Amino acid sequence: DTGVSQDPRHKITKRGQNVTFRCDPISEHNRLYWYRQTLGQGPEFLTYFQNEAQLEKSRLLSDRFSAERPKGSFSTLEIQRTEQGDSAMYLCASSPGLANEQFFGPGTRLTVL
Amino acid sequence: GEDVEQSLFLSVREGDSSVINCTYTDSSSTYLYWYKQEPGAGLQLLTYIFSNMDMKQDQRLTVLLNKKDKHLSLRIADTQTGDSAIYFCAGGSTLGRLYFGRGTQLTVWP
């Protein structure tokens, strides 16, 4: 198993454009998490799924953000009408449950110009 | 609310031990975790401890938990230059989000 993968690794977009990120978790991990990390800060929780069900969303997740995990495997995070404040590293993690240990992917760095 | 505090910087000489400290406010945290992040990379899970344990050792890593004081520490023995990175403390329960501190930048001097 190659771990959690994320695509793309880097995305540069203009303000107002829509972007979509993909996360492929470790196979058979039923939980999948999205976090956002800005410079000098720790990751901040955005949302998580157990299988295909989205169980919790942070207040950070405005209505411009939407996440899906349609078949309980990969997940997508879409940001509509991007703003400069959306510039950050978007991290995905998966967990097999147990001790809720979360394994992170390499992240997608978003820059909004 | 949930809050995790860490000192921001630590410098040590190669071969010495490093001790990174963390305090947390959420007494309902079931597990406490240490992650390592190298520049431009995601987070690597180093170790975690169940809240009813006092200590966990894993090769060069020793985690100490003082649940009464809500204090967690990570000791790295024989610190190497490759250990230079940002170390994050996090708390969480058996399900759901983890709460992270701002991270401690560890610099190891040769």
CB-CB neighbors (< 8 A) of B100 in chain A: 42-44
**More confidently predicted of B86 and A61:** B86
Q: How far is CA B40 from the centre of its chain?
A: 19
Q: How far is B69 from chain A (nearest CA, A)?
A: 22
**pLDDT score recorded for residue A37:** 96
Of the candidates A50, A55, A102, which has its C-beta nearest B98's C-beta? A102
**pLDDT score recorded for residue B19:** 97
Q: What is the pLDDT along chain B (110 residues), one digit of tens a residue?
A: 578 999 999 999 999 999 999 999 887 788 999 999 998 888 999 999 998 999 999 999 999 999 999 999 999 999 999 999 999 999 988 788 999 999 999 999 99
Q: What is the share, in percent, of chain A residues with pLDDT greater than 90?
A: 86
Closest by alpha carbon to A77, among A38, A49, A104, A112?
A49
Best residue in B33, B95, B97 for a mutation probing chain A (most A CBs within 10 Å)? B97
Of the candidates B42, B94, B97, which has its C-beta nearest A45's C-beta? B97
Measuring CA to CA, how many Å separate A100 from each of A35, B31, B50? 15, 8, 11
- Average pLDDT, rounded, for chain A: 94
Residues A28-32 have a mean pLDDT of: 92
CA angle B106, B37, A103 (to 5 degrees): 145
Using a CB–CB cut-off of 8 Å, the residues of B that contact A are: 4, 30-31, 33, 35, 40-45, 48, 50, 88, 90, 92-103
CA distance A89 to B27: 29
Q: What is the pLDDT of residues A62-108, one digit of tens each?
A: 899 999 999 889 999 999 999 999 999 999 999 997 788 999 999 99
* Dihedral angle sign, alpha carbons of residues A24, A29, A34, A39: negative
Report the DSSP beta bridge partners of residue B22.
B6, B72
* Chain A residues 11-40 with CB within 8 Å of chain B: 31, 33, 40
Q: Are B51 and B65 in contact (CB under 8 A)?
A: yes
**pLDDT score recorded for residue A67:** 96
Q: Inter-chain contact B100–A42, Cβ cutoff 8 Å?
A: yes
* Dihedral angle of Cα A106, A110, A111, A112, to the nearest 10 degrees: 180
**pLDDT score recorded for residue A60:** 80
Of the candidates A42, A93, A107, which has its C-beta nearest B101's C-beta? A42
CB-CB neighbors (< 8 A) of B103 in chain A: 41-42
